[in-house]
């Protein structure tokens, strides 16, 4: 979604991609740090759950990246 017709360096897709990659990396980093520091609350979370959540976020980011590349390719052919 854009609010003007001018080209922008910061688009909604780039923001979504940044948020999904950053959130997935943060989840993995926090889990690893808590796991290494032997916090008891981490024992309740299975590693499979963390990997599934992070994998979904990485997948969403990859989908946005591919969709953006396809959109840029079609825009280049139309001009």
HEC profile of 46-60: CHHHHHHHHHHHHHH
pLDDT top residue among 12 and 79? 12
Query: For 3-62, how does the pLDDT look when each residue is reduced to its tens digit (9 = 90+)?
Result: 566 666 677 778 888 889 999 999 999 888 888 887 777 777 788 888 999 999 999 989
Q: Please indicate, yes or no, whether the overall pTM of this predicted structure exceeds 0.85.
A: no
pLDDT on residue 31: 85
Q: How far apart are CA 76 and CA 34, in angstroms?
A: 46
Binned at pLDDT 50, 70 and 90, residue 2 comes out as low
For the chain, give every domain's residue range.
Answer: 18-78
């Amino acid at each position: 979604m854009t609010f003007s017709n001018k080209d922008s360096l910061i688009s909604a897709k780039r923001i979504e991609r940044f948020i999904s990659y950053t959130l997935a990396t943060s989840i993995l980093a926090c889990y690893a740090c808590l796991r290494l520091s032997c916090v008891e609350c981490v024992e309740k979370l299975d590693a499979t759950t963390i990997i599934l959540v992070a994998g979904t976020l990485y997948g969403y980011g990859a989908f946005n990246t591919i969709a953006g590349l396809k959109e840029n390719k079609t825009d280049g052919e139309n001009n």
